[in-house]
A and B are shown apart, each in its own frame.
Chain A
Amino acid sequence: MRKIAVLTVVAFCAAMMFSSLAFSARKTIIKIGINAPLTGDIPKVGEGSKYAAQMWLEDIENAGGLEVGGKKYEVELVIEDNESKAESAVKANTKMITQDDVLAIVGPQSSKQAVPAGEVANKYKTVMISPWSTNPSTTLDRPYVFRGCFLDPFQGPVVANFITEEFGFTKAAVLYDVASDYPKGLAEVFKQAWEDKHGAGSVVAYESFTTKDTDFSSQLTKIVKSGAEVLFTPQYYNEVPLIVSQAKNLGWTGPIVGSDSWGSAETIELCGEDCYGLFFSSHYAAAGAKGATKAFIDRYEKTYGYIPDDVAALTWDALRLAQQAIQDAGKLTGKIEKDREAVRDALAQIKDFDGITGKMTFTEEGDPIKCAVIVRINHQGEYEFYGSSCP
């Protein structure tokens, strides 16, 4: 019995030595991790990230690899599903960093996953770029964590200003998910910005629910009664249709305004005509785009059959930022810790990066300074550019 056990262990060790893992140290392959919600609450977000990453990889492959310091390296994507869960995102990052030896990670997308996953990336000193997470905690005091989008403390006031200027309202209601980092953070920022503008108590209803709730009738009844003129709800696309239709059925007649989480390609598919004419703040507007943005949209639509949402565009930018940083690092030593550090330093140095969602220069915290776009859902169900606000 014991002999067999010993033999098994020896055989296993031998197999490990000859496995591809052991060999990979000789030939350096650049591995980029993608941490995306392929299943769970927001699968469309994961799909957009995956497709954008595949398009990016296609470009690299067509160029014969990624050139760093005059040498071409093969690039591989490690795509992990975080199931839209915080703990799975942490697990995915840990696995990609410690087992797959990724050079950099793009994702997770939403703040609920990006905030805890960023902790892991920073601890292991691996660059992580979250394309879509707008919560400040994601990058705060984490030198290795960057993001590709603006922050909620910027987005909240943008929305508050927009509503004030566009409609001239003074009383607002907020409905948000208290159990999710992103809606909760943004709701707080919006409330602050609104009350700074219109005085304490001008947010006349501040109602919450928890993830997976589908019935908002008691909260919405309260909101209707409160006399609010506008409803702000920074929720994801799977909740937006329920909130909008239930609000209308309970007698809500005012406008409903959302945030960048509305920008999914699926919002309109699920919400239909109920959502026509509503506004939200976002990173880019597909209808009426120009230049490189338009080229990206057209190519994506041709390949995957629908207009890319902001997540796809931001993921594309994040990958190109990572690419730029790797190239700027000068050379790859093959020692993963050292290379990761070099990539981090190069990324922090990038100035005026010309992304398809706007120009980017990172602040000390790893947050880009860029403009927000106000999108109107027009009566064809397209996301139309309505206005923009720059810091």
Chain B
Amino acid sequence: MEPLIESFNYILQNIINALQRGSFYAVISIGYSMVYGVLMLFNFAHGDIFMVGTYIGFGIATLLLATFSGLVPPPVIFLATVVITMFLASWIGVFVEVAGYRPLRQAPRASAAITGLMIGIIFETTILIMLGAKRLSFPPLMETVNYHIGGIYITNVKAMIIIISLLLMLALHAFIQKTKWGMAMRAMSYDFLAVPLMGVSINIIAPLTFAVGAGLAAVAGILYGQAYPILDPYMGVLLGWKAFVAAILGGRGSIKGAALAGYLLGFIEIFVATVFPSTLRDFIAYSIILVILTFRPRGFFGMEHSTKLRL
């Protein structure tokens, strides 16, 4: 019986690992999917918006810890960091839309994609110039407690990452389904041409979409900083690409799909490394995804977009 329990624990431990990994992919890929839904373009700067959000979070957390540490309970500092960072980072999203994508709305789609890549490089080098190449260490916003429950190890940080990510996604779902702004976004993704005729301005909805995406990425950044506390100006690149893969896998423009595919990606990565030699992890993991996409080229929840006209 003993080995059976052991291997059960082993699987359970890896499920928790995968949930943590998948949470980041899910939250970040939602940002890709939302922008695609509204503007039909992939914002390739999103990974770097996540990076900038992490750095902003780092700044706010350091500032708040220096000023209020010991005066207010840690959860308050954590919450304040999240709220302030979300607010500031959403303006980064607005900036990217207004300065980068808006002038190119009539331009060929390839120009917009390239712009995204350039904005990403500008962000990376800006951080590099401002802060230097030195690695920064994200301050812990709470004391790490490691729980050992029946052969499984889970820290409070890990639990928090999984729970907060789920709450964020539920909140986003409510925002899109229940508010007027959300309705405008859904309408925009349904028909890009007719919606402006109803008095909904694309110049408000588009930046709003970017702002929400950037805000989510920034919260993911703070959580990332708690789990992997070493900051690097290029940290958004790889994560951004993987989140992009998740957005495609989930179905372009589908938020539900992006979230689901994000977790799926986390599970594939973790379990491939568990079963196969870890050297082959990315090779096998992304081959599996390639196979999935061969059979479902539009992803899990992809919509038919071929009839849509562009302004």
Q: List residues of A whose CB falls within 8 A of some B CB.
A: 38-41, 43-44, 46-47, 178, 207-210, 212-215, 217-219, 221-222, 225, 237-239, 241-242, 245, 248-251, 266, 269-270, 272
Q: List residues of B whose CB falls within 8 A of some A CB.
A: 6, 10, 13-14, 17-18, 20-21, 128, 132-135, 137, 144, 146, 148, 153, 155, 158, 227-230, 232, 234-235, 237-238, 269-271, 273-274, 277-279, 281-282
Contact of B273 among A38, A43, A44, A218 (CB under 8 A): A218
Inter-chain contacts of A40 with B (CB < 8 A): 133
Given A43-B134, A208-B279: A221 and B230 interface contact (C-beta under 8 Å): no
Inter-chain contacts of A250 with B (CB < 8 A): 13, 153
- Majority secondary structure of chain B interface residues (helix, strand, loop or mixed): helix
Inter-chain contacts of B13 with A (CB < 8 A): 221, 250
Name 10 A/B residue pairs within 8 A (Cβ), A-sorted: A38-B133, A41-B232, A47-B134, A214-B228, A215-B21, A217-B14, A218-B17, A221-B14, A238-B232, A245-B229
Inter-chain contacts of A212 with B (CB < 8 A): 234-235, 237-238
Contact of A218 among B128, B237, B274 (CB under 8 A): B274
Given A217-B21, A219-B273, A241-B230: A208 and B148 interface contact (C-beta under 8 Å): no
CB pair B153–A251 under 8 Å, yes or no, is yes
CB pair B228–A249 under 8 Å, yes or no, is no
Among A47, A215, A249, the most chain B Cβ lie within 10 Å of the Cβ of A215
Nearest-CB distance from A263 to chain B (Å)? 16
Contact of B137 among A38, A41, A249, A269 (CB under 8 A): A269
**A44, B230: Cα distance in complex, Å:** 14
Nearest-CB distance from B260 to chain A (Å)? 20
Beyond contacts A249-B153, A270-B229: 11 other A-B pairs, Cβ-Cβ < 8 A, are A47-B134, A178-B279, A208-B277, A210-B282, A217-B270, A241-B229, A242-B230, A245-B229, A249-B146, A250-B13, A266-B135
CB pair B135–A218 under 8 Å, yes or no, is no
Nearest-CB distance from A210 to chain B (Å)? 7
Kindly count the residue-residue contacts between A and B in the assembled complex, taking CB atoms under 8 Å apart. 92
CB pair B135–A221 under 8 Å, yes or no, is no
Nearest-CB distance from B237 to chain A (Å)? 8
Inter-chain contacts of A222 with B (CB < 8 A): 273-274, 278
**A215, B235: Cα distance in complex, Å:** 12
Nearest-CB distance from A253 to chain B (Å)? 11
Inter-chain contacts of B235 with A (CB < 8 A): 212, 214
**A270, B138: Cα distance in complex, Å:** 9
Inter-chain contacts of B234 with A (CB < 8 A): 212
**A77, B63: Cα distance in complex, Å:** 40
Nearest-CB distance from A22 to chain B (Å)? 34
Contact of B230 among A38, A210, A270 (CB under 8 A): A270
**A212, B239: Cα distance in complex, Å:** 9
CB pair A207–B278 under 8 Å, yes or no, is yes
Nearest-CB distance from B289 to chain A (Å)? 17
Inter-chain contacts of A249 with B (CB < 8 A): 144, 146, 153, 155, 158
**A269, B136: Cα distance in complex, Å:** 9
Nearest-CB distance from A272 to chain B (Å)? 8
Among A40, A217, A266, the most chain B Cβ lie within 10 Å of the Cβ of A217
Question: 8 smallest A-B Cβ distances: which pairs?
Answer: A43-B133, A217-B17, A218-B273, A39-B133, A214-B228, A251-B153, A218-B270, A207-B278
CB pair B282–A43 under 8 Å, yes or no, is no
Inter-chain contacts of B153 with A (CB < 8 A): 249-251
Using CB atoms, name the residue of chain A closest to B228. A214
Given A43-B132, A43-B135, A249-B158: A221 and B21 interface contact (C-beta under 8 Å): no
CB pair B128–A39 under 8 Å, yes or no, is yes
Inter-chain contacts of A209 with B (CB < 8 A): 278, 281
